[in-house]
Amino acid sequence: MSNRDLSMLTPKELARIEREIARKHIGKFPWLAVTAGIGVFIGWLALWPLVLMNIIPAWAGFIAATIFAIIGYLPSHEAQHDIIARPGSRLRWLNELVGHVSTVPLALPFDLARVTHREHHLHTNHPELDPDHGSSASGPLMAIWTAIQNVQPKGRGGHNAYSRTLKRLGRKDVLISSALYRVAWFLTLFALAWTGHAIEAAALWWLPHHVGYIYIQYYLSWAPHHPANETARYRHTRSFRAALGNIGSLGMQYHIVHHLHPRIPFLRTPEAYWEMKPVLEAQGARVEDL
Amino acid sequence: MQKAMLRRLYKLGPMIFGLGFLTPLAAQLLQSADVPLPFGMSALLAGFLIAMAIAIPAQLRGRWV
């Protein structure tokens, strides 16, 4: 179907075509996400004896742990959207397992990520209701600086924005479990540090947590929604050409497809994007950069 | 009570982190780099002073950087 044909269709008809394309990509079991999620966790765990026994230096462990922390968010993200298995299904336990273990290197509680991420989808770019709106910034350098500021104790975004969201939603259960998760994380770091393993703990968990949070805020929150001033379905998220490419940007170049159809597995979003692009253009979506 | 305790801990976060993590981290970094310390100071005391020099402003300002 040519672009000219599409321009004659109503938004409803375009949405129907879009849904038909999306349906082709939904429902495939995301084997790679499951393997990567569990693999990242096991790989990260393996770094501890490797670094503690001086088989690899702490700096190499830091690089590997940071990569694991960043990559681990993606399988967890699939689990947040129940892409691995829906509630009540036979493999639901696997969805929950992947969700929980893949963000351990990032020290991010899965339940917190799931609840706040859903709010992000429901209220994308809303200054009060989108928990990720704190990552908005005027340009790439400001986005990095804002991401650093967000992880400060009194930061506007990050965990403070997530706490506000959970309070607004009345999810005290998640608020308390997330707070306990954070306390347990700090106590583990303290115990490692006071038993003579502070450098290893910093290299394998503390620094990867911070670098990972900043990287994820930049590529998952800031870049796909910049300038974050529109809230309409086809306007709040964009496709973009990342300086680090699609792999370096964690596949976020095609994030618009994820926002329109969150049940499409992450690895199928590029294919779905190229199939949908003429329809998205006709809908007035922000797809001009890619 | 659990909630109040968590809130108190959270408010004192930078100081607790300075004592719990940054002090031994700075001490172990000094030791591993063989940095000569003045006045026969122990690595742990030097680590504590470095950690507090970072943690106290962070506690007062509410941000590390």
User: Which of A14-18, A28-32, A198-202, A269-273 has the weakest average pLDDT?
Assistant: A28-32
Radius of gyration of chain B from Cα atoms? 14
Taking the CA of residue A51 and the nearest CA in chain B, the distance in Å comes to 15
Instruction: Answer for the pair A134, A161: CB distance below 8 angstroms, yes or no.
Output: yes
In sequence order, the β-bridge partners of residue A64 are none
Residue A205 pLDDT: 98
Residues in Cβ contact with B26 at an 8 Å cutoff, skipping those fewer than 6 apart:
B46, B47, B48, B50, B51
Q: Say whether pLDDT at A227 is over 70.
A: yes
Residues in Cβ contact with A206 at an 8 Å cutoff, skipping those fewer than 6 apart:
A189, B21
Contact A202 B17 (CB under 8 A): no
Per-residue confidence band for A247, with pLDDT thresholds at 50, 70 and 90: confident
Find the mean pLDDT for residues A213-226: 96
Q: Which of A158, A166, A168 is nearest to A133 (CA)?
A: A158
Rounded (10°) angle between helices A158-169 and A110-122 = 80
Task: Identify which of A179, A190, A199 has the shortest CB distance to residue B29.
Answer: A199
Per-residue confidence band for A269, with pLDDT thresholds at 50, 70 and 90: very high
Which residues in chain A have their CB less than 8 angstroms from residue B20's CB? 186, 189-190, 193-194
Considering chain A, what is the average pLDDT of its residues?
95
Instruction: Answer for the pair A73, A251: CB distance below 8 angstroms, yes or no.
Output: no
Contact B6 A183 (CB under 8 A): yes
Q: Say whether pLDDT at A255 is over 80.
A: yes
Contact A199 B32 (CB under 8 A): yes
**pLDDT tens digits, residue range A40-59?**
999 999 999 999 999 999 99
ipTM of the complex: 0.93
Radius of gyration of chain A from Cα atoms? 20
Interface of A with B (CB under 8 A): 148-149, 152-155, 176, 179-180, 183, 186, 189-190, 193-194, 196, 198-199, 201-202, 206
